[in-house]
Each structure stands twice: as C-alpha cells, then as structure tokens.
Amino acid sequence: MAADTDTLDDLFDAHDLPGLERWVADHPPHEVADELARADGVRAALLFRLLDKDRALTVFEELDPPDQHKVLAELRGEAFRDVVEEMDPDDRARLLGEAPAKFARQVLAGLSPRKRSMTAALLGYPDGSVGRYMSPETVALRQRRTAGEALGVVRERGADAETVYTLPVTDDQRRFVGVVSLRDVVLSDPDRSVTELLKEDYPLVEATDQAEDAARLMQEANVLALPVVDSENRVLGLLTIDDAFEVIEAADTEDIARQAAAAPWSGHYMSASVVQLARSRVVWLLLLIVAATLTVNVLQFFEDSLTAVTALALFIPLLTGAGGNAGSQAATATVRALAVGEVRTRDLLRVAWRESRVGLLLGAALGAVGLMIGSVLVDVPVATTVALSLVVICSWAATVGATMPLLAKRLGIDPAVISAPLVTTLVDATGLLIYFVIAHAVLGV
C-alpha cells in the first residue's frame, strides 16, 4: 500500500491523467475515499472526476461531511447536481448541517421539490439528534398483512428504501406497533400474519433523542435498525447500524480529543492545517496554565521551607508527575465507563470509596519506590517525606480524578471535558500543599 500512495503523489506531480484514471479504477472505493480525504480540495476533486458515475457515488458516501464539502466546493454544474441529487437524504442533511449556510441554501435550491422537503425536514431536527441521522425512506407494513403480502410490499417499494431488512409495522392510525425482520418474513409460511412475526421488546427512539444514546442502545440491544417515531408514536424512519457505527466512532473520537484537553474537530487529521490544529488545542492550554499559577502561589507560600531544605525542590516534578498520572488513570476510567453506560451519576459515592482505596494501594507501591529513590539520592528524612506524600497524593488524585467526571455529568457538563491534563493541573497544586504539610511535620521546616 505504501508504494500505491507514493505512486499517486508521483502521478499528480507528473500530471499523468491516464495514470490517475488507472489508479482510481484499480482501487476499491474505500481506499479511493481515503486518498480523497487526505488530499487538498483541488486534487480531491480531480481524482473524484476520474471515477465513473456509480463508483463516484459510493466513494462520495464514504467520505465524512467536511471532506464531502471539500470535494463539492470544487465541482461545478452537472457533476455537482448529480452527486447531491443521488445522496441518501440522511447523508445529505448531515453534509448540509455542517456546511456554510450559503452553500447549504444553494444546494437545497437545486434539489427536486420532493428531495428538498425531505432534506429540509431532517435539517429541522437539532444537531446531534437521531433525526439528523435517520433514513426516512423505509418500507412500513400494516399489521393485518400476511408474510406473503409483506414480501410483495418489499418487492414493490424496496428499491427506494435504505434498508428492507427491518420493517416497521403500524396500526390503522399509522402508529408504530413493532417490527418484523425480512428474515422472518422470508422464512415464514406466507399465510401467517405479520402480527405473529412481531419482535417483542424491540427498542425504539424519538427523532429528538440524542443520536449517541440511540446508537449505544442499538449496540446493547444488538439490532440492525432502530425505529424512529414522533411524539405520537408515528414512524418517521429508521436509524441504520452503519450510521450508528459512525455516530459512536465520532463520539469516541470526540471524547478522546476532549480527554487530552483539545476541542474536538471533524475532518481528517492529515488535511487539517497547522493553524486549525493549534486552534483546537490552545484554549484549554491557556486555561490550564492560568490554573497552574496556583502551583506558583503554593510554592511561594512555602518558599522559606524550600530555602531551608533545597532538596525538597528536587522531588517536585516526580511528585506532581505521579499524582497527575494516578489522577489521569482514574479520570479516564470513569469517563469511559460513563460513556459506555457502566457507571451512572448516582454511583458517585461508591466510585469515590473504591478509587480512594485503589489510590491507597497504588500510593503504597509508589511510596516504597520513592523511599528507595530518595534515600539513595538525598537522605532518609527527605525520602520519608516523599514516600508519605506519594501515599496521600495518589489516594487523593485517584479519588478526585474518578469523581470529577461524575460531578460534571451531574451538572450537565460533558464528563469528557474532565481531561487528564485538567486533573493533572488540579492535582499538582493540591499535591504540593500535601507535600509541604508533610515536610513540615517530618522535617520541621
């Protein structure tokens, strides 16, 4: 694969159009999509134009919205209209939701009336809601149908639907009563009623629910498609598993960025500019350095102790490092457990009690090592101070790190903003306080 992209860059540099055409024809759509995502807009659009019409749509659908926008921004006339007309309504709504408003209006204006109203309806749901991701084109069945009739309905109307494997069933008022799977329809005796094939306990969501919650529900309940209804239980569409998969992966990527104190941004890492990357990281770094001023204050307060025993200064990075690490481990564990639903906010006290003991065990292990390092490099009294501080700091750091994400969630803040760097910074200042109080007790300074 390494040779492939080198070739691709060479082909671009040599303006070798026939070579590029061969390259796109020889590679599967997801690999072509990957190269489009990495390339700048002009090269991406050039590659895209070399695809034949069917493959072009497949490749386009595999791009993330920012990369789709990058390609579309370079296309004109026919090519542009073809792509936008042929997209699935949910993909189109997501692209427009993330594109500049002027561009979105222009695209909407160019659509056929039916597609325009379908897309506009999806865009009416809040950002991040199920409505933005659902496929409105489903095959719904009336509950009085037989399995044989149901198969006929699928044959008649299935071509336009995004999926025909999960079929919502409705009553005479068009209200949702359950789903049947195409598998059961095909395997069943054709005369059996659809009602007999209904799946019990089947989960469903409303269009205004959070897409991430709906996606996690699908994963937990192991379903290929989740019915989406309005507040009166009428079927609006289906959330399909490939969209749920994307929602979860995007949510994980966002959480991971937040956990490192960076603002999440959509788009490909290699196509982001240096300024974009810096912008996504600078806000938290600035907040954290202002918070770190606390450590300067604590050290100023204990400056006399530092002057009396300079050796105390030697262990400052080691202690703040260990506390920060123990706190980060605990914070990361509870943020993830909250994200996948293993911990709930009301577990706060249980989590605090568990993690304080985990921290104590870790502190005891680190304290033993600290005692050795300190005794070898300085002397036993300082080493004792360092060792005792490690025990207290680790227990404190694990407790604070684990409970802060739960407190954040209780306050309605995304727990992932309780990043490892944030915990580290807060534990730094309190850790120093613990260190100097213990130094005062042990060394009398």
Judged by CB under 8 A, the chain residues 233 through 252 that form the site for a copy of itself are: 241-242, 244-246, 248-249, 252
Q: Does 103 bind a copy of itself (CB under 8 A)?
A: no
Instruction: Give, as ranges, the residues between 279 and 338 that touch a copy of itself (CB under 8 A).
Output: 281-282, 284-286, 288-290, 292-293, 295-297, 299-300, 303, 306-307, 310, 313-318, 320-322, 324-326, 328-329, 331-334, 336-337
Q: Least Å distance between CB 283 and a copy of itself?
A: 10
What is the dihedral sign for C-alpha 405, 409, 411, 412?
positive
For residue 265, the 8-state DSSP code is: -
Residue 199, Ramachandran bin (φ over 0: left; ψ between -120 and 50: alpha; else beta): beta
Query: 110 vs 341, which CB is nearer to a copy of itself?
Result: 341
Q: Does 182 bind a copy of itself (CB under 8 A)?
A: yes
Q: Which residues pair with 166 in a beta bridge?
A: 181
* 43 exposure class (CB count in 10 Å sphere: 0-12, 13-18, 19+): middle
Both tokens of residue 22? 């061969």
Q: Does 380 bind a copy of itself (CB under 8 A)?
A: no
Query: 111 vs 363, which CB is nearer to a copy of itself?
Result: 363
Both tokens of residue 350? 């249980």
Instruction: Give, as ranges, the residues between 247 and 286 that touch a copy of itself (CB under 8 A).
Output: 248-249, 252-253, 256-257, 259-262, 268-270, 274-275, 277-278, 281-282, 284-286
Q: Least Å distance between CB 222 and a copy of itself?
A: 5
* 60 exposure class (CB count in 10 Å sphere: 0-12, 13-18, 19+): buried
CB 300 within 8 A of CB 290: no
Cα torsion 81, 86, 91, 93 to 10°: value is 50
Q: Which of 42, 187, 349, 437 binds a copy of itself (CB under 8 A)?
A: 187
Both tokens of residue 228? 């989406």
Q: Least Å distance between CB 86 and a copy of itself?
A: 15
Query: 104 vs 145, which CB is nearer to a copy of itself?
Result: 145
Q: Which of 28, 100, 110, 444 binds a copy of itself (CB under 8 A)?
A: 28
Query: 83 vs 111, which CB is nearer to a copy of itself?
Result: 83
Q: Which of 89, 136, 178, 370 binds a copy of itself (CB under 8 A)?
A: 370
Instruction: Give, as ranges, the residues between 32 and 71 that touch a copy of itself (CB under 8 A).
Output: 33-34, 37-38, 55, 58, 61-62
Q: Buried b vs exposed e over 300-331: b needs ≥16 C-beta within 10 Å?
A: eebeebbeebebbeebbebbbebbbbbbbbbb
Query: 175 vs 350, which CB is nearer to a copy of itself?
Result: 350
Q: Which of 10, 52, 342, 379 binds a copy of itself (CB under 8 A)?
A: 342
Q: Does 403 bind a copy of itself (CB under 8 A)?
A: no
Q: Does 418 bind a copy of itself (CB under 8 A)?
A: no
Q: Does 407 bind a copy of itself (CB under 8 A)?
A: no
Instruction: Give, as ranges, the residues between 133 and 162 that touch a copy of itself (CB under 8 A).
Output: 151, 154-155, 158-159
Q: Does 343 bind a copy of itself (CB under 8 A)?
A: yes
Q: Least Å distance between CB 270 and a copy of itself?
A: 6
Which of 73-81, 120-128, 130-138, 180-188 is the region at the interface with a copy of itself (rule: CB under 8 A)?
180-188
Q: Which of 221, 380, 413, 441 binds a copy of itself (CB under 8 A)?
A: 221
Closest alpha carbon to 243 in 132, 99, 338: 132
Q: What are the helix and strand counts (H, E) for the chain?
A: 23, 6
User: CA 155, CA 146: separation in Å to the nearest integer?
Assistant: 14
Q: Buried b vs exposed e over 339-368: b needs ≥16 C-beta within 10 Å?
A: beeebeeebbeebbeebbebbbebbeebbe
Q: What are phi and psi of 84, to 5 degrees?
A: -65, -40
Both tokens of residue 270? 């290699």
Give the three-class secondary structure for 110.
Answer: helix
Query: 104 vs 403, which CB is nearer to a copy of itself?
Result: 403
